[in-house]
Homo-oligomer: A and B are copies of this chain.
Amino acid sequence: MGAVAHKVKLYEQVAERLEEAIAAGTLQAGDKLPSVRQLSLRERVSISTVLQAYVHLESLGLIETRPQSGHYVRRRERPQLAEPQVSRPASSATAVSVSALVASVYKSMGDARIVPFGAASPSPELLPTRRLYRELSALTRDTRDRSILYDVLPGCLELRQQLARRSLDWGCALSPEDFITTCGTSEAIHLCLLAVARPGDTIAIESPAYYGTLQAIEALGLRALEIPCCPRNGMQMEALEAALTRRRIAAVLMVPSFSNPVGSCMPDVRRQRLVNLLAAHDVPLIEDDIYGDLHFGPERPRTCKAFDTRGNVMLCGSFSKTLAPGFRVGYVAPGRFRERVELLKFSNSVATATLPQYAIARFLQSGGYDRHLRALRRRLAAQVERMASAVAEFFPAGTRVTRPTGGVLLWVEMPQQVDSLVLHAKALEAGISIAPGPIFSARMDTYRHCFRLSCGHPWTPRIEAAMSTLGALARGLV
């Protein structure tokens, strides 16, 4: 297996409690935090643990240190909107049929003339295309190169070696043998679902959930059970636990790091609880880690897989959001389901395309990927903040917006009477695409007043004008 159990550090637990107090408004912007000594006594931890917790919160941009004064909850420079509240989906499982609606939304995404607030990827300007193509060309000029041939399962060894090395950053210590390469994260998830569920089975998912997840569930004749989620910290464990005791659930499928569409990131304590809970119920977790590398803070979130000692977590990821969506290169570390997933991979596509895997492996080996990621994360963090400000500036009063700590997405909750399907239609007429709320739930009325906003594109006058237009359209619908 190779995964090592990862304990949540003490300072993280302390920081987590303060973070929750800030999120709940118990501690407000400008409030002074307890002194290091006070907190050390209250939490029964050492002074150095408290100091670590404060450094951590500062790195997240949540608090600031004032010399000779102490620690304070940070004031935001711009007016900040309230966050959406915890979701309250229906508590019964349901068959899914979002596809027709998704198809109509998806059609506009490929059109370069449309302002692509609907997509969930970084703009091509932010991708290291030239450098990646240079690696690819080097391969095609090598006469010993055999990349015209089938790759052999479990996939390109050089790439799996790089993944194993990177897995240390995910809090795991996976070996190359733990991985199977796939055609993007979507194939990885499709294989995992096929491995653990049969038609009619129930899959527990986040609410709202990525429409691709809903479509995968629909395509395989499964049922979706949407679990309430906090837009900051992800799936609510109490709700999941209640669901697990009420009915048979074949698997839980979620995006713990910078979820799609809301951008939530599960704290480590919650991840540990999730992994333990599912192990106790013998329910596998399909972990979609596609946005994990796009953290705005200094540290990459650990994966749930880091807490998995029983091979119960099937970790899926790819390079589609960071390097090359069109290469279709992803991976799965399927834990104890490895054999079945490898069989399914062979029958699904024999192997992953050879050349793209080798090109990415070379790019990773060269250190180019890490350099690229550092720049990409800075750009995305700035773009997300800029777009959130634009929502505050242009959208009707009462609009709420998420405060993601990574990824490329904002989730916008407008006043109840604004219909995002109408907004979507009007925006498209104005040359702007958005992803309307209803495609993110099996019950398509739940998020009717919400939409997903991509921040993948650098801020330009064109983007600003589009945000202004979009806000005006939304105001017109109040």
Contacts and interface: CB of A to CB of B under 8 A. Distances in A.
Contacts of A184: 349-350
A218 B347 contact: yes
A8 B124 CA distance: 51
Secondary structure dominating the interface of A: helix
One complex includes copies of this chain to the number of 2
A121 B150 CA distance: 10
A82 interface: no
Interface string A191-203: 0001000110000
A127 interface: yes
A249 interface: no
Contacts of A347: 186, 190, 212, 215-216, 218-220
Interface residues of A, number: 57
Nearest to A148: B129
A141 to B, nearest CB: 8
Interface of A: 99, 106, 109-110, 112, 121, 124, 127, 129, 132-133, 136-137, 140-141, 146-153, 183-184, 186-187, 190, 194, 198-199, 212, 215-216, 218-221, 320, 324-328, 343-344, 346-356
10 contacts: A127-B148, A146-B326, A150-B325, A183-B183, A184-B350, A186-B346, A187-B348, A190-B349, A194-B219, A328-B352
Given A106-B153, A184-B349, 12 more contacts: A124-B146, A148-B324, A148-B325, A149-B326, A183-B183, A183-B328, A194-B219, A194-B220, A212-B346, A218-B343, A219-B343, A219-B346
